[in-house]
Amino acid sequence: MALCLFHPLTFEPTPFVRSSTVRLLDAKKDMVGVISVSEAVRIADENDLILAILSLDGDPPVLRLFEEKEYKKHKYEQQKKKRVQQKRSVAKRMGLKELKMGYNIDIHDYSVRLRAAKKFLKAGDKVKIVVNLKGRENLYKKQAIELLRRFQTDVGELATEGSKNFAERNIYVILVPNKLAIQKEQDGANKKGSAGQMDQSEDESDEDEAVIEQLEESSLDGDKPVIEQLEESKEPETEVSVNV
């Protein structure tokens, strides 16, 4: 017995389609053609397949037949995309960037995140600094809190504390741009021009800028941990702490 039609966003059963005909794809994504709704339901019933809606906006609406396993995979992927879109929408609306660190983050990765945070703050974004503690890492909660406080100190007057949560395993602090301090620093930078000295070589600076871009992208996408992206960008012998 085939399952009912499913709404493409909520995946809740839909009792009817507001059209007498539909454009049907088979389980292999091949076009069956434009047929009546009752014919599509009959085909699904006879082949014990799931009949699902791909698009209600089509003229006519687009439906597809799925085997149960494939439908579950399709449903998961669509819901995952929806979650990512929602996160991006919220982040864009709020101007909130998220940076993750491990309680034992190394000096280089710490400095990259510090630079990223300052960049975001100067652009007018709030920055959420998160330290994830998994399993027995909760024993190092004190060190994690000290790390967040150290980060706040190193950010300096560019930000004020908006809110924080030190009660859960995923502790965090949200930094809010200090517009007066940022404007003051920018005015000073404009007077100095390009006469400032660089602490890093050109190659190292370019590499860090690339990582900062990855951090900016990952702040909108919570599905892939930042640690995985950093490990791909580093030399094999370099160790990176967990949950960085």
109 inside domain: yes
Retrieve residue 192's tokens. 């100095």
Residues 149-188: b if buried by 16+ CB within 10 A, e if exposed: eebbeebeebbeeeebeeeeeebbbbbebbeebbeebeee
Q: Which of 171, 166, 164 is nearest to 132 (CA)?
A: 171
pLDDT at 231: 37
Are 62 and 171 contained in the same domain?
Answer: no
238 inside domain: no
CA angle 141–134–175, rounded 5-degree value:
55
Are 21 and 127 contained in the same domain?
Answer: no
CATH at 180: 3.30.110.10
Specify which residues 163 forms β-bridges with: 174
pLDDT at 237: 35
Write out the residue range of the structural domain in which residue 18 sits: 5-86
Residues 62-91: b if buried by 16+ CB within 10 A, e if exposed: bbbbbeeebbeebeeeeeeeeeeeebeeeb
Are 43 and 128 contained in the same domain?
Answer: no
Q: Which of 15, 29, 106, 100 is nearest to 62 (CA)?
A: 29
The total of structural domains in the chain comes to 2
Are 125 and 217 contained in the same domain?
Answer: yes
Cα separation of 137 and 141, whole Å? 7
pLDDT at 241: 33
Instruction: Write out the H or E segment, with its range, that includes residue 37.
Output: helix 37-46
Are 82 and 200 contained in the same domain?
Answer: no
Going residue by residue through the chain (244 aa), what tens digit of pLDDT does each one get?
444 555 554 555 555 567 788 999 998 889 999 999 889 889 988 888 988 888 888 888 899 999 988 988 988 888 888 888 877 776 565 588 899 998 889 999 999 999 999 999 998 889 999 998 888 887 888 899 999 999 999 999 988 888 888 877 778 999 999 888 888 887 777 776 655 554 444 444 555 566 666 665 555 444 443 333 333 333 333 333 333 3
pLDDT at 169: 74
Contact 21, 34 (CB under 8 A): yes
Retrieve residue 143's tokens. 């060190």
Contact 121, 127 (CB under 8 A): yes
Q: How far is CA 243 from CA 55, 89, 154, 201, 210, in A?
A: 38, 24, 21, 28, 19
CATH at 26: 3.10.20.80
pTM of the model: 0.46
